[in-house]
Chains A and B, each alone.
Chain A
Amino acid sequence: EVQLVESGGGLVQPGGSLRLSCAASGFRFSSYAMSWVRQAPGKGLECVSTITGSADSTSYADSVKGRFTISRDNSKNTVYLQMNSLRVEDTAVYYCAKGSSTWPTWFDPWGQGTLVTVSS
């Protein structure tokens, strides 16, 4: 069974940093792109970053470019999202999601999400 388990969320002040982790199991991790998708309270979904299976390519939403960094450790079956210079508007549930191939495609499955709250 494919499982994705996020961790690392919490309360942080504006300007602060957090690192999210997503531990994967049940599939050949290095063969699949992974993404982080967030959902602000009461709002829709936004894909903030993706990384290919081999980690040779990444992409970012304009809203987080230059502040967030996605990475992966295929030996640990884990994908990370380093979030710096956090803003109030980054408050959201952050989901980790598996792509269908080494390139970004549709997402299946998703993790349960981890809540990031940016507030003073």
Chain B
Amino acid sequence: EIVMTQSPATLSVSPGERATLSCRASQSVSSNLAWYQQKPGQAPRLLIYGASTRATGIPARFSGSGSGTEFTLTISSLQSEDFAVYYCQSYNNWLPRFGQGTKVEI
């Protein structure tokens, strides 16, 4: 069973700053890694798939990198609408696995 671990649990940043979120897999998932954003009361929204490909309509300030077991989501300049919870998800086997989430707050 693949375990996904995200860090930090909470990230306190100011608007305009850069945010770096980490996700680690307990075994290699190659590039089979996605990132989601979730705001209160809403369903998650896909940001990144294939570790580094932005989904349709996602702003260029969101970027993903990594492969194997170490992955990073970077938000280059935080906007007010980016304060949310972010989840990574692996899809390397039959049952996709999520990390526990990182809350990005002011």
Contacts and interface: CB of A to CB of B under 8 A. Distances in A.
Nearest to B1: A62
B105 to A, nearest CB: 15
A100 B96 CA distance: 13
Contacts of A110: 43-45
Interface string B81-106: 00000010101001111111100000
Interface string A46-73: 1100100000010111000000000000
A100 B49 contact: yes
Interface stretch (A7-15, A80-88, A101-109): A101-109
State which size class the interface on A falls in.
20 to 34
A46 B98 contact: yes
* A interface majority secondary structure: loop
A111 B34 contact: no
13 contacts: A44-B99, A44-B100, A50-B95, A57-B94, A60-B95, A104-B95, A105-B32, A105-B49, A105-B96, A106-B49, A107-B96, A109-B46, A111-B43
